[in-house]
Each structure stands twice: as C-alpha cells, then as structure tokens.
Amino acid sequence: MAERVISVSGAPYDGHSREAALESAATLGFTHFEPAFIVGYTEPFDETAFTPSEMTSWRSALRSSGLLCHAMSSHIDLGFEDSVEVFTGRMAFAAAIGAKVIATNAAARQREATFRRNVETILRRAEAFDIIVGLENPGDGSDSLINIARDGISLVEEFGSPFLKLNYDAANTASHRPDMDDLAGDGILALPESAHAHIKDVRETDEGWFFCDIGDGKVGCERLLAAIAKLDSLPVSIELPLRLHRNRQAQPVRRQDPVPLSTIEDSLARSLKVVRRALNHNQ
C-alpha cells in the first residue's frame, strides 16, 4: 500500500518567504508542501506568479528543501468568461511543479451555465496535464454550486470524469453554513468523491470564526480523520491560515502583521501529531 501523503499548505506561512516556509515544513517532518494561491488568504498576487520562470524557481526551491508537491491550491470562480484560460495557466504551473491535484472553487450559482461550458474544456486540458481538478467548498457564506457535500457529490457524479473530484474542507462549512450541525458528518459524506482533503479546525466566537490547532475546534476532526483512515490512500493537507479569521459575515480578515514563525511551527507540529496519530501514520 502506498504511503499516504500528508502535505502542509503554504497558507499558515502567509507573510514569510517561500524558502523560510519550505525549510520550516521540512524541519517539522513534512514530506510534501502545498503551494497556496488563494485571494484573501495570502499576499496579493496576479498571473505573473504562474510564469515558466516561476515554475523553475518553485521546482528548484522544492528540490533544495527535499520536499515534494502533491497538491496546489489556486482558487478561482470557474464561471467567468476568462476562467478557462486563467485556470489552464494555473494547471500547467501546478503540473510542472509535480502536483497531481489542483484545488479551486466551483462557481457562484448565478454563473452555473458558464461554469458548465468551461468545465468541459478544463477537463480536457486537465487530462492532458494529468492533473485532477479538486472542487472545494467555499467558506464565505455565498450561494455557490457547492454549499454542502451533497452539492459537490452531485456535481462530480454528473460530469463523471476521473479528472474532476472534490477537495472537501469541513472547516469551511462552519462559516459558510453556520446552521450545519454536523460538520464532520458532512465532510465524511464527501469522501467517496474526493481526491484530496483539507484538514483544519475552527473556533466560533462573537467576532467570527478563528482557525486553531486540529482537534481544538468545532469541526470534529478526530471523527473525520478516523473516516479518512479507513480509505487506503486519500491524501490530505493541513491548512491552518492562522493570520486570518472570518468575521460574522464570513469574510476573511487578515492581520496586519504575519504570525511569528515559532507560533506557526508550534501549531503545525501539534496538528501534524494529531493527524498522524489518527491516520495511523508510521512516521
């Protein structure tokens, strides 16, 4: 049986250099790093982040750190007229640095028709790149094509492509649909149609939703991880965007200053221990 991939997202390292993040992740014992290009979660970026020279730079940095890349987060709304070309560039970039899964949002429900047209082309290109598009549920409270697991399952089953799966994140549902009582159960429901899963935890306060060490929040990560452990090889990524929280309107709010590297490492080390123990990881 293949070793299960446990990645760390670049999101916790928001504000720190790529090299510092990679060195830290390797020191903590991670084997895989998931680059994160998520508007609102990380430093601002544009499509110049995905040029051939950046591909080369990322490959070199990963090689120097001894880390591999299995997944990349690069969220856009696939329902815009230019989404095919934008996402094609991001798929090419992800594949070039070794990723087998690229996570993105689906689309706002109002753009469903364009989304469906776009995905037909995107999937042909995904097959050419040999990369799976992992649709992720949002956390911003909007009306998306994927609001809960059942929506994502229906969408993936409808297209019936091995290159379109889910990258479900049960913690996102906490702020996206606050009336959802069983976050772990919703995440477990999505697993059969998932190619990858983001693992993070969240606490709810009067000011909104704050990300915390895995197992310390309301998601029920132990139960979710126990279900994942029964699946032979579903890869996961620990994603703890500690620099931001979501306000009561579910919108991301980033702190002015980056979180100290020592704080990030403490949280990731504790979370990695929980995940490895739950998944019976032998490292």
Residues 188-234 have pLDDT tens digits of 999 999 999 999 999 999 999 999 999 999 999 999 999 999 998 89
Average pLDDT, the chain: 96
Work out the pLDDT band at 1, boundaries 50, 70, 90. Answer: low
Q: Which amino acid is at 187?
A: G
**pLDDT tens digits for 133-154?**
999 999 999 999 999 999 999 9
Distance CA 50, CA 66 (A): 22
237 phi, psi to nearest 5 deg? -135, 135
Distance CA 258, CA 12 (A): 9
Q: How far is CA 208 from CA 51, 119, 191, 249, in A?
A: 37, 34, 27, 8
Q: Which amino acid is at 28?
A: L
Domain count, the chain: 1
User: Phi/psi class of residue 51: alpha, beta or left (left: φ > 0; alpha: ψ in -120 to 50)?
Assistant: beta
| Terminal CA-CA length for the chain | 15
User: CATH number for the domain including 209?
Assistant: 3.20.20.150
What is the reported pLDDT for 282? 45
213 within 8 A of 270, measured Cβ to Cβ = yes
**pLDDT tens digits for 236-270?**
999 999 999 999 999 999 999 999 999 999 999 99
Which secondary structure element, helix H or strand E, spans residue 223, and what is its range?
helix 221-229
DSSP per-residue string spanning 124-189: HHHHHHT-EEEE---SSS--BS-SSHHHHHHHHHHH--TTEEEEE-HHHHHHHSTT-S-HHHHHHH
Torsion of CA 48, 49, 51, 52, to 10 degrees: 150
Residue span of the structural domain in which 266 resides: 4-279
What is the reported pLDDT for 41? 81
